[in-house]
Amino acid sequence: MEASPFDFQRFIDGWVREVIDFDPQIFPAEPRFGDFQCNGIFPHAKKSGIPPRQLGEQILKALQASNNANLFDLSLAGAGFINFQIATPAIEGWLEKYASEKDFSEATRDLAGKIIVVDYSCPNTAKQMHVGHLRSMVIGDAIARLFKLFGAEVIRDNHLGDWGTQFGILLMQLRKEKISWENLSPDETIECLEGIYRRGVQETQISEDAMNQARAELVALQNGDPERISRWKWINTVSYASFQEIYDLVGVKFDHVLGESFYRDRINGICDELCQYGIAEKDNGALVVFHRDHPHFQRQPFIIRKRDGASNYASTDLATVLYRQEKWHCDEIIYVTDSRQRDHFQQLFLTVERWFAARNCALPGLRHIWFGTVCGEDGKAIKTRSGEPIRLKTLFAEAIHRAAGIVASKDPSLTAADQAHISQAVGVGAIKYGDLLQNRTSDYIFSWDKMLSLEGNTAPYLQYAVARIYAIFRRANINPNMMEKFHKIKLLEPQEIALARKLLFYPCVLRQALADLRPHFICTYIYELAGIFSSFYSSTKVLGADPLILFSRLSLCARTLTVLRSGLNLLGIEILEKM
Ligand code: ARG
């Protein structure tokens, strides 16, 4: 028997291509037909005028003559589909070979040597993070973890909005209101700043004079006036402390926090350069870029310098791409924001393509990974009763509080410290998972009941499934990691074969999630896996079985644990050994 490949789908694809010269279209098959199916024969036969059955037979024969054939039961079906059923010994071989998360990461080196920047979270300072900041943080983190698994060098960069127009308004209003900060806690300070900002916005809306003052404050800040700079620094420090609390709670880390302000001195040079190359032009006093070949952006300008001469979001992003390319030599930059920024990023990418071509430097891949809105029951962006966006701090506190109720009802014998730890992992996990489970490009309706349920596709259900497997090993008095070395797996019962089959689809799911950067594929898969495990465990004797069978089945439990753990780790969901 040939050694089992890690990813059967990819393996079959490569193998069939040795025999044919068209796209074989290898897909997972409906279980009653086999594990994988070659769908490319029929369309190719039609195109080339060969009867599909005949072409299928030729290909089948060629495959059967190859060494790899003993990994599969091959058959021709219907109008010319080839079915691949993985032979049981090949499944056993797979289970023996890919036993630990380390084995998985050694087998997934597709991105080795690649440097990928993930630009995510990126809240604007002077405000606390709210529910609108949830998805970038959670999805961005999961994507970064996925790249890492595939061997890339990942640079996580939090591109804070710390240099925007909000500071003009804030500094203007701060000057008006006399507040003694000394007695305020950091939390109160940031809340107080939010109030000042709100009142400042109201002022500028009703008074032209206030608007002008805010503009003047912003210009003074941008010109480096020391007093403004020191206030601005203080606001950012206070803000970041409040972000950090959330990052610590949800387990998100960054390699760099280079906010918009970091690029402020580079922007003028870049604007000049874009003018010299004839890419940017003056339009009504502003500096803009048009893309003449684009149906949309031939008329809709990409504004890189406002009429008042101030730099903006767009010019800052241009400077940021150049910095990342020069400093980190990155191969790819991934931006994770909501769908409303799609135009911005399309225009940014088009501009960078032209600019980098003109300056003759390597163009990194640029991808905007956008997502939909988190909605309330009414289908509109979720808000508090008073119409404000819900703060992440409040949202997570509520989740942890609700989780505590569930945890206490499940096992009242846990110590208080254990209960607190588990409630946090379950509450935070529920929100993160409830988000990642959604196809990222869809909006979704936020529902406490759905995401905290112990049944259905939720974090608590999966965390519980994992804890149950740990409990099996506690009862057997064996460390599950010990089973990684057990090499005599024998699959006997249909339920154990079904479970083993599901396990070896994990690599295909990982690649599917990677291709489109959609973590929900992983969620769907691990949920199904947990269900299949549960049927296996309730129908098949494990702990009471004869020793050899016992160890073989415990290995199967351990492999399931490894895959569930790996999946949950990729999603940033904490694993609990006890729940
Ligand atoms: N600060 C922006 C916002 O709150 C997101 C920044 C995303 N990253 C970027 N390089 N533009 O919408």
Q: Output the CA 115–ligand 1 centroid distance in Å.
A: 21
pLDDT classification of 146: cutoffs 50, 70, 90: very high
pLDDT in tens, 351-368: 999 999 999 999 999 999
pLDDT at 98 over 70: yes
**Backbone φ and ψ of 154, nearest 5°:** -105, 130
d(CA 405, CA 398): 11
Nearest atom in ligand 1 to the alpha carbon of residue 313 is: 11
- Which residue do the tokens 């799911």 mark? 509
Nearest CA, atom 11, ligand 1 = 317
Nearest atom in ligand 1 to the alpha carbon of residue 345 is: 11
* Positions of CATH 3.40.50.620 in the chain: 115-371
pLDDT at 337 over 80: yes
Q: Which residues line ligand 1 (CB under 6 A)?
A: 119, 122-124, 159, 161, 317, 320, 335, 337
pLDDT at 412 over 90: no
pLDDT at 162 over 80: yes
Radius of gyration of the chain (CA): 28
pLDDT classification of 182: cutoffs 50, 70, 90: confident
- Which residue do the tokens 């008329």 mark? 299
For the chain, how many helices (H) and strands (E)? 21, 13
Q: Output the CA 239–ligand 1 centroid distance in Å.
A: 16
H/E stretch holding 411 reads none
Q: Output the CA 313–ligand 1 centroid distance in Å.
A: 8
Nearest atom in ligand 1 to the alpha carbon of residue 344 is: 11
* Positions of CATH 3.30.1360.70 in the chain: 8-86
What mean pLDDT value characterizes the chain?
A: 95
- Ligand 1 pocket test, pick from 163, 302, 304, 337 with the greatest ligand atom count within 8 Å of Cβ, gives 337
d(CA 294, CA 287): 19
Superfamily of domain 8-86 in CATH is Arginyl tRNA synthetase N-terminal domain (3.30.1360.70)
Beta bridge partners of 365: 332
Q: What is the pLDDT of residue 219?
A: 87
pLDDT at 2 over 70: no
pLDDT at 1 over 70: no
Q: What is the pLDDT of residue 8?
A: 97
- Which residue do the tokens 């890419």 mark? 279
Q: Output the CA 137–ligand 1 centroid distance in Å.
A: 12
Q: What is the pLDDT of residue 181?
A: 76
Three-state SS annotation for 185-204: CHHHHHHHHHHHHHHHHHHH
Nearest atom in ligand 1 to the alpha carbon of residue 161 is: 1
pLDDT in tens, 218-231: 889 988 999 999 99
Instruction: Give the relative orientation of helices 547-571 and 88-97 as an angle to the nearest 10 degrees.
Output: 60
Query: Does the domain formed by 115-371 have CATH 3.40.50.720?
Result: no
Q: Which long-range contacts (CB under 8 A, 24 or more apart) does 414-422 make?
A: 414/578, 418/578, 422/576, 422/578, 422/579
Task: Report how far apart the first and last C-alpha atoms of the chain are (Å, whole number).
Answer: 42
Nearest CA, atom 5, ligand 1 = 122
Q: Output the CA 337–ligand 1 centroid distance in Å.
A: 7
Q: Output the CA 227–ligand 1 centroid distance in Å.
A: 27
Q: Output the CA 88–ligand 1 centroid distance in Å.
A: 50
Write down the pTM of the prediction.
0.96
pLDDT at 387 over 90: no
Q: What is the pLDDT of residue 327?
A: 98
* Positions of CATH 1.10.730.10 in the chain: 392-571
Q: Which of 52-56, 184-188, 287-291 has the lowest mean pLDDT?
A: 184-188
- Ligand 1 pocket test, pick from 118, 121, 122, 260 with the greatest ligand atom count within 8 Å of Cβ, gives 122
Pick the CATH number of 392-571 from 3.40.47.10, 3.40.50.800, 1.10.730.10, 3.40.50.300: 1.10.730.10
Q: Output the CA 160–ligand 1 centroid distance in Å.
A: 7
